[in-house]
Structure 1
Amino acid sequence: MTEDINSYPLPTHSIPGLRFSDHLADIVNVQELLESRGIDTRNTRIERYIKYLEHVESANSVSAVKIFKNISDARFEREIDWEMYVLREIHELMWILKGLKAHIPAGIDNKLRMIVSGSDFAAMDTDTVSRNTQFELRIASYFCQMGCEVDLSTDTDVVAVSPEHIFYLECKRIAGSNALEQNLKKAKKQLMARMPSQHGKKAAYGIIAADVTKAAFPHNGLTIGQTSDHARDVVQKKLIEIAKPTITTPILTDCRNVLLCWLQIHIPSLVIHPLTTTTRFSSYGVINPYLGRKSQKALADFQAIAAVGDRPDAREIPSQKLVPRTSIALPAGTTFSLDENLLKVFFEGGNNYGKTADEVIAHLFFDDTDHKFTFFEFELLAAKIPFEKRKKLAENPNTTRAELVIEMYIQKYPYEHH
């Protein structure tokens, strides 16, 4: 998590985002759409997401454990964990809603019934049918939003017709990196069997869409980034790493009408500065290196369609300027503490602290408030201090102890009026 954090400067502006009221409005719209098509949402995850957001929006204390029953997992401990996992689910449904508002594909009702029946969280879903179907709808939404005619009723997962081309897409969710090549080859075989060379007057082109979230992050949990750019790069590096075998041993060499393998990661992310919870939809395209001129034109058409994901939501709270903190005034009577064993390892230049990320290792108490700092926060700070400087700091342990705690405070609250 702390890799390369020094290369990401402290942001000077907040991250644009939607209000909880916007999230609630959209998920209610999802429920209304489902009900209008005869799909009952009572006692389903849709109803539970709404209940959770209503509590958050009304500023009432949220008992997520009571709303989402039978969840006993180490990944669901803190309030922010629940928030991020819920937002991950809601953001995907909101994205699907955007597409359905623009165009209702053929065969949509059976797909909607399948996704409603799924478990509350993808991280806990053992019935892959529901989430596989939801991935198909996520992919279809790109084309719906761009005005394509979309069909979900054929043997092919998604068929989308743009003004100039017709795209056949096979969608695969990859359970692990070892299963990637096998699934991509299976998708290729399905495309070659089902896709005509021509559909009316339009040439047909294939795309393999693969959700590799679980292959990249086996815990299927959360990611953390020091800044928004850092969080983005953590995910992009994973995508590139997963794509390498596909790039070095292309599976599309003998099918010029299959344009690319479109890899996606969809994962909740906690950005430390400024503190923000978000969901990352990251993509990486492994393009068929043997495309002809007409196929290149079809690829450009697809890339313009996929770029709809870069459009901002008109409801976003605009970015605000942030003023970095330059000093901290501590009143008389301020007290602090720092784990002594951890400090010893730090001075010695070691990395084996024997601490868990959430373990509290330091306190700073002033103005009737006990500011607690976790080992993860200490790791972020320690990663910026080279061994030579640590040896120098060890000469004055009492001063260093205070400085480290204050630095963690500034790291946690780097802006004025936090």
Structure 2
Amino acid sequence: MSEEKYSYKLPDETLPGISFKDHAADLLQFKEFIDNLGITTHNTRIDRYARYFHELAEGTAIDEKRIFKNVNDVRFQSPLDWHLYLLREAHELMWILRGLKKHVPIGVEPKLEKIVSGSDFAALDKNTESRDTQFELRIASYFCQSGCTVDLATDTDIIAITDKHAYFVECKRIAGIRNLKDNLVKAKDQILLRMPKKYEGRHANGIIAADVTKLAFLHNGLTMGQTPDHARDIIQSKLKEIARKASTLQIFTGRPDIIECLLQIHIPSVVMFPSATTTRFSSYSIHNKKLDRKSSSAIREFYNISQAGSISDDREIPSKQLKHRKFIDVPAGSSYSLEQDLITKILSGTTTQNFVPETIVASLKMDDIIHEFTVSDLNTVMRRLAPDRVRKFAENESPNRIELILEMFARRYPYEKES
């Protein structure tokens, strides 16, 4: 997980979201859609995802290893690990379903058959064909949701037609910096080979779509942000870094009809404040700088198509107002402990020793609940304190250091509990 630190204003509202009941309903609907095409989903990953979210919605105690057998990877330890990886899978399929409900593309059947046959988790997928195809359907969903006619049955990954334009889209999933150039240039060459000047009476435009999730996050797993804006910016900074590299490549070749290279990251994210788990679909566009009038019109239309993700779901649970904590009421009978020597070393900065971030430096027991605080918590609080306060705490090992514990507690729990 990313540990980048920035200063972000604490949000005043919870994140909107979709209930787990609706997750389960969508996955069941997706399963039924595929079954009705004559493609078996029983005992496949689609079946298992639906079962997991159904049990989650019902409040059932879930044994993930009972549902998803033979997953022994170290990244799958806690229920939160499982949940985040499953959100990643579910949200992509739910996004594809949104497109299929608006328009069923020509040639979608063999594509769905391929994604059904994939392994349960992208992070463990050694044969990339299933996820490559799933990425094609993810991009196709933008066009389907926008009312385009979509064809997946040609040599081109996606051909999408609007009233004014035809779009020829080549999709690539890029796993490392070494094949960034190869994949983007290959996509360009495929467009040049397959795209005519006009298609069904419309001006044809080429788009390169690249999933760079694994290039940005080598573990192909999770990221973490202090706030929703922080989580967004971590991913956007990765996209911009990759875009700088991609912009040096000959992917447009002076051709105005190859209008854009769309980079996308799809990754589950833990947001600390307010506490939430979510999946981010983040995009960054590299535009061809040598567009003619027709291509400029096409790129404006494609921008509108790409905004399908900003349309909220009718079932969305609205945000709730949050109350910021103004004080900490420590009840009688509470107790605390401090690793005084370790805290002194960290606060004084007198050693170059690297302290393990997860090392416990203090604990607070309130209402029979033990809250443990780490080196990472202490370092974060230190950055927020005035230098003279840090110096005072470094020089004084008296019980006044309870203030440090309360500072760490207030940072971890910045909101009042709802009554």
Q: TM-score range by the shorter chain?
A: over 0.9
Q: Distance in 1 between matches of 2:340 and 2:185?
A: 55
Q: CA deviation at 1:31?
A: 0.7
Residues 6-405 of structure 1 correspond to what in structure 2 (within 5 A)?
6=7, 8-340=8-340, 342-349=342-349, 353-355=354-356, 357=358, 360-385=360-385, 389-399=389-399, 401-405=401-405
**Structure 2 CA distance for partners of 1:185 and 1:385, relative to 1, 3 Å:** farther
**Structure 2 CA distance for partners of 1:336 and 1:219, relative to 1, 3 Å:** same
**RMSD between aligned residues:** 1.8
Q: CA deviation at 1:342?
A: 4.2
Counterpart of 1:405, as a letter, is I
Q: Distance in 1 between matches of 2:221 and 2:23?
A: 21
**Structure 2 CA distance for partners of 1:66 and 1:323, relative to 1, 3 Å:** same
* 2:6 counterpart residue number: 5
Equivalent residues of 1:177, 1:216 under 8 A apart: no
- Partner-residue secondary structure (3-state), 2:398: helix
Q: CA deviation at 1:396?
A: 2.0
- Partner-residue secondary structure (3-state), 2:327: coil
Q: CA deviation at 1:145?
A: 0.4
Deviates more, 1:256-265 or 1:407-416: 407-416
**Structure 2 CA distance for partners of 1:302 and 1:330, relative to 1, 3 Å:** same
Q: CA deviation at 1:360?
A: 4.8
Equivalent residues of 2:167, 2:206 under 8 A apart: yes
**Structure 2 CA distance for partners of 1:383 and 1:28, relative to 1, 3 Å:** farther
Q: Distance in 1 between matches of 2:106 and 2:375?
A: 52
Equivalent residues of 1:253, 1:290 under 8 A apart: no
**Structure 2 CA distance for partners of 1:412 and 1:143, relative to 1, 3 Å:** same
Counterpart of 1:15, as a letter, is L
Q: Distance in 2 between matches of 1:386 and 1:210?
A: 45
- Partner-residue secondary structure (3-state), 1:281: strand
Counterpart of 1:45, as a letter, is R
Deviates more, 1:408-417 or 1:359-368: 359-368
- Partner-residue secondary structure (3-state), 1:373: strand
Q: CA deviation at 1:126?
A: 0.7
Q: Distance in 2 between matches of 1:87 and 1:212?
A: 19
Percent identity, aligned pairs only?
A: 48
Q: Distance in 2 between matches of 1:69 and 1:159?
A: 38
Equivalent residues of 1:2, 1:379 under 8 A apart: no
**Structure 2 CA distance for partners of 1:392 and 1:376, relative to 1, 3 Å:** closer
Counterpart of 1:192, as a letter, is L
Deviates more, 1:201-210 or 1:309-318: 309-318
Q: CA deviation at 1:366?
A: 1.5
Equivalent residues of 1:346, 1:390 under 8 A apart: no
Q: CA deviation at 1:112?
A: 0.3
Residues matched between the structures, number: 416
Q: CA deviation at 1:164?
A: 0.6
Equivalent residues of 2:344, 2:395 under 8 A apart: no
Q: Distance in 2 between matches of 1:182 and 1:25?
A: 40
Counterpart of 1:354, as a letter, is F
**Structure 2 CA distance for partners of 1:145 and 1:45, relative to 1, 3 Å:** same
Counterpart of 1:401, as a letter, is R
Q: Distance in 2 between matches of 1:362 and 1:78?
A: 24
Does 2:408 match 1:408?
A: yes
Q: Deviations over 1:196-251 (max 9, x none)?
A: 11113101000000000000000111111100000000000000011102224453
Deviates more, 1:326-335 or 1:108-117: 326-335
Q: CA deviation at 1:252?
A: 1.0
Equivalent residues of 2:24, 2:51 under 8 A apart: no
Deviates more, 1:89-98 or 1:13-22: 13-22
- Partner-residue secondary structure (3-state), 1:172: strand
Q: CA deviation at 1:296?
A: 0.5
- Partner-residue secondary structure (3-state), 2:221: coil
**Structure 2 CA distance for partners of 1:352 and 1:126, relative to 1, 3 Å:** farther
Equivalent residues of 2:48, 2:67 under 8 A apart: yes
Q: CA deviation at 1:377?
A: 3.9
Q: Distance in 2 between matches of 1:72 and 1:360?
A: 28
Q: Deviations over 1:118-154 (max 9, x none)?
A: 1111111111000000000000000000010000010
Equivalent residues of 1:330, 1:366 under 8 A apart: yes
Q: CA deviation at 1:388?
A: 6.0
Q: Distance in 1 between matches of 2:78 and 2:403?
A: 28
- Partner-residue secondary structure (3-state), 2:235: helix
- Partner-residue secondary structure (3-state), 2:159: strand
**Structure 2 CA distance for partners of 1:116 and 1:362, relative to 1, 3 Å:** farther
- Partner-residue secondary structure (3-state), 1:115: helix
Counterpart of 1:255, as a letter, is R
**TM-score normalized with structure 2 length:** 0.95
Q: Deviations over 1:28-64 (max 9, x none)?
A: 1111111111111111111111221122112122111
Q: Distance in 2 between matches of 1:291 and 1:400?
A: 66
**TM-score normalized with structure 1 length:** 0.95
